[in-house]
Structures are given as structure tokens and as C-alpha cells.
Copies of this chain bind each other. A is one copy, B any other.
């Protein structure tokens, strides 16, 4: 019943494609994020709230926003060095001159997605909001673990600049990796609400929900207390002043989201990101 290929034909230049990437087999601790795209859509369309972003942009009446459905992924999607099927699907969306907002999945999906973006945008900047730097050379025997995507991205030269916000667990290996790749890290201990980030464009935003404090986003696989508030993340998004050409929202784990609060956070951030992309 997946209508991805059918929906794709309606995507036109200048539109924003909303796409689900239901993949969590590269998670090291808990599975669950593969269920996230469906849950976020359910909240968006539950009638619990309207579809307005905070700037008044009513996404429910915006013809340029198209939900193309979930990528049709099955066994064999992932290989030792990436997921070429995901890369190809995202490339198809970009070929139609659309911007792409993907709903994960775990953070492993960012590497094959950014492979597609880098081919389109050679001078990409990435803003990465997360509790963890995800810079492991390999993790528990895998180079495509959800702990590794930014090592893969940087070693392949897919981004001109990588800025990380929310980081609060950096061991010696990750610190060495960050230095090797020239990653700009704003540690939580140094974070001040309202800090200005120097971001060049075009920009890709990779938003791991565990960058927020677990008080605001308990429905994630890894609880790392001491993080950002939802309002601080909204402010970061609203302050973006370069073209936002792509984004992902990853690591929502519905299994841990007992009353749906974290899914509501994902839906709220989706609205703010989409409003900024349009």
C-alpha cells in the first residue's frame, strides 16, 4: 500500500518534499525509530492542533508542501558502506528541484541522505543538533552504525562546514575525530540561549531529538540529560538566515513515548523547519 512512486510524480520544482525513512536496524541499544514517520504523521493529522507554524504560515493550505510517503525499504537496504537505495531515492527527489525534509529512522540514515545532497550542493554546510557527535570511526563492528554518520560524511568530504550544537558526551576518540575533520562543536557547557551561529549556505539541518533534554523529548533511545529546551531549538531554526535546502528529524522512538509528547515535539519542529524551507 506504499504510494511513494505515485506521489513522486506530483513533486515539482520549488516544492518541499516530506518523506519518511523507516529504518532503525543500525541502532545500538533500542529499536523503534522505524515507527516514527507514521506516528508523526498521525499526530500532524489528528486534529489535535492546526498546521500553522509560529510565523502564521498555514502548512495545511500550502500546495508547495507534498508528503510523498515513506521510502520503500526492505531487507538488503543497508550494506557495509552505506545504503545506496536511500541515496538514490533522495537524489530523485532533489532532481525535481525540490527541497527535502525527511523523517527518520535512526541517525544512520543521514549519511546516505547527505550523499545525495552533496552531489547536488557541493558547498553544503551542515547544522547538527544532537547530544552526541556521532563521529565514531566504527561502533560495535559497524561503520554505518547510528554512532558513525558524521565520520562517514566528513571523511568523504560531503560537507564544507559541520557545526554541532547540544553535544554533551565527547570521549577521547570522538574529540580526536572532531579535530581531524575540523568540526565546530558548541558544547552544552558553553551554550548560551540566543548564541549566533555563523552558518554559510546552502544549509542542511540534521536534528537528532536527543539533542533536546529528555525532559522535553523522553521518547528517544538514548537519554542524555542536560540538553536543549524545545524553545531553544525552535529559536535556532527560526534564526536560520541562509537557504535551508534539506533537513532530517531522527531518533524519535515511539516505544518510549508513552503519552505522545515527544511525537508532538517532532511534529512541532517539522512545522517550523518546513516553514523555513518554503
Chain A residues in the interface with B (C-beta under 8 A): 1, 3, 27-32, 35, 38-39, 42, 45-50, 52, 54, 56, 58, 67, 75-76, 140-141, 168-172, 175, 187-189, 213-216, 218-219, 221-227, 229-231, 234-235, 238, 255-256, 258-261, 264-265, 268-269
Contacts and interface: CB of A to CB of B under 8 A. Distances in A.
A231 B213 contact: yes
A43 to B, nearest CB: 8
Given A42-B38, A169-B49, A214-B261, A268 B225 contact: yes
B226 A231 contact: yes
A255 B47 contact: no
Nearest to A50: B171
Contacts of A215: 213, 215-216, 229-230, 261
Q: Determine which residue in A28, A56, A169, A215 has the highest number of CB atoms from chain B within 10 A of its CB, and name it.
A: A215
B170 A45 contact: no
B216 A225 contact: yes
B258 A259 contact: yes
A32 B30 contact: yes
